[in-house]
A and B are shown apart, each in its own frame.
Chain A
Amino acid sequence: MNWEAIALSLKLAVCVAGILLAAGLPIAYWVTFSRWRWKFLVEAVVALPLVLPPTVLGYYILVGLGPRHFAGKIWQSWFGHTLPFTFGGLLAASVLYSLPFAVQPISAGFDAVDRRLIEASWTLGASRLATFFRVILPLSAAGAVTGIVLSFAHTIGEFGVVLMVGGNIPGVTRTVSIDIYDQVQAANYDVANRTAVVLLLFSFLVLALIYGTNRRAVSLWRRF
């Protein structure tokens, strides 16, 4: 088994989940509560990775962050190298690719909070920020946990985007799924199988955890 690839995948997934926790909460808040009439356009953009082939997303990230384009040039002038085929590039691509997996459950959680509780909080003098941390987030914690765990698991399992943006550099961009692909290409079916089983069990456990704890989280305050 390629422990280097597993460690890299875990590192990537933890970073993605962390970034998406920080970015997903405000985005989901805006998507849920904004009354802007063109909001649906933003929602569609956020949801794009759900339907786009990873190769398409990967292609645009590769080109967009490459040395010939605006964003890539700025990055290069600041950091002295381009993003594609580095861990940073892989991270940026993975965050975009997992964005809907974080935003949608968090937003669904926010949406399920009774609006009258939010209004009650306002009339009691709480600011929007205080209302968010004292009312909305505690009552939708299950949605936030689901979003973060899903984006973590989704990052562990991604393949197409990694291949397009990261290439296959051991220790830098060769993740578990790429490693399995490599082993199969090299006809090392035993090695591929062992890694695949690990990934399969891991995915199953994560999903079981989400479904199990969600029910408990929901019933936690009803039980009292």
Chain B
Amino acid sequence: MSLEVAIEKSVPGFRLAVEFTADGAPLGLLGPSGSGKTMTLRGIAGLETPDRGRIVLHGRVLFDSERRIDVPARERRIGLLFQNYALFPHLTVAENIAFGLRSLADAERDKRVSEQLAAAHLEGLADRHPATLSGGEQQRVALARALAIEPAALLLDEPFSALDTHLRAALERQLRETLARYGGSTLFVSHNLEEAYRVCENLVVLVKGSVAAQGPKEEIFRHPPTLEVARVTGCKNFSRACRLPDGRVEALDWGCSLRVAQPFAKAPEHIAIRAHHVRVLPAQKLGQENCENLFPCWLAAMTETPFRATLDLRIGAPAAGADFQLQAEVFKQEWESFRDLPQPWAIELAADRLFLLPD
């Protein structure tokens, strides 16, 4: 069970060149909008012809520019879930699901449709038209329609982006269950890193049309190989960096020198830390001996969500206006424990949380 993709395509102002392999576990294609995720998916489905490359699904060559093989979309047996679901508005839910089952005998087709209806919890909606369904129901119909043809691979293009937030959690759980039962290769395209992290085991990070990172999701989140990947995976704090003679790292934009746990051979270009790894403490910690990477900091601005506070901080000197260097994300109760204390506070950039980026 594997989907091997190595394709190149140039369009005016954009060049796509990606190479990755998906096995049994869902593979997440993560990247900002315009990074080529959808184009990659369309290439695999046969809706877009790459300029060069190869696509092999379970040993079956779907595209090979050198051998001039280009299997048309209708013969690829790839289930594609469109971002807007693309349900046929003139057909009922049952007819939509049966659309790809034309070649089957009536009885077999009806059986397949009722199986899909049951699996997607859509039994009561078989005779309804798509326009009367909620967004979540439409998504389930589209997924059932794609799965009904028993595709060798399933491609999901931002399956949750058209849904209200409160619907997403339940549908995501349902999707994870469906994917666990599904035997083929799954590609899950998303720009939402948390969503991709929950649904997929392995990730491919696309930046500007090429693969910036690929591998197990934990690995990519812990040690992003590049600045772009760190950004895509949600890291907010970066500083240009240079190595000091004593083995420490000078963070040029933050104005401090830091001990870093991660070993590095090459001189790093940037140093980074995730906002929820930045700790803010009362000032009296500053003088204590066993503390490292601890600096005085001042608050420039604060934004809050119901349970968390995002603090814009400056190291070394009070903030002038909204100018800040680091963002810290802390729980509300933590924030309330030091908000009324006099500034400066202490900021801790833990050595094992800092990571270095070679470029």
Write the residues of chain A forming the contact surface with B, with a CB cutoff of 8 angstroms: 114, 116-117, 119-127, 130, 134-135, 138-139, 221-222, 224
Contact = CB atoms under 8 A, between A and B. Distances in A.
Contacts of A122: 46-47, 72-74
Interface stretch (B24-32, B84-92, B191-199): B84-92
B68 interface: no
B60 interface: no
Which A-B residue pairs are the 9 nearest by beta carbons? Answer: A124-B100, A224-B129, A120-B86, A116-B86, A122-B73, A123-B80, A138-B90, A122-B74, A125-B100
A119 B75 CA distance: 13
Contacts of A135: 88
Given A119-B80, A123-B46, 9 more contacts: A119-B82, A119-B86, A120-B82, A120-B86, A122-B72, A123-B146, A124-B145, A124-B146, A139-B89
Contact of B131 (A127, A130, A134, A222): A222
B88 A117 contact: yes
A114 to B, nearest CB: 7
Contact of A123 (B79, B128, B129): B79
Nearest to B142: A120
Interface residues of B, number: 29
B182 interface: no
B132 A224 contact: yes
Contacts of B79: 123
B90 A139 contact: yes
A196 B189 CA distance: 65
Nearest to A141: B90
> Which applies to chain A's interface (DSSP): helix, strand, loop or mixed?
helix
B204 interface: no
Contacts of B45: 119, 123
6 contacts: A117-B89, A124-B74, A125-B75, A125-B77, A126-B99, A139-B88
B interface majority secondary structure: loop
A123 B73 contact: yes
Interface string B89-104: 1100000000110110
B82 A116 contact: yes
A224 B89 CA distance: 10
A208 to B, nearest CB: 26
Contact of B90 (A120, A126, A221): A221
A123 B99 CA distance: 11
Contacts of A139: 88-90
B149 A125 contact: yes
Contacts of A224: 128-129, 131-132
Nearest to B89: A221
B187 interface: no
Contacts of A127: 74
B78 interface: yes
A126 B98 CA distance: 12
B31 to A, nearest CB: 21
Interface in B13-47: 45-47
Given A114-B86, A116-B86, A139-B89, A123 B76 contact: yes
Nearest to B155: A123
Contacts of B76: 123
Contacts of A134: 99
Contacts of A119: 45, 47, 73, 80, 82, 86
A203 B128 CA distance: 39
Contacts of A123: 45-47, 73-74, 76, 78-80, 146
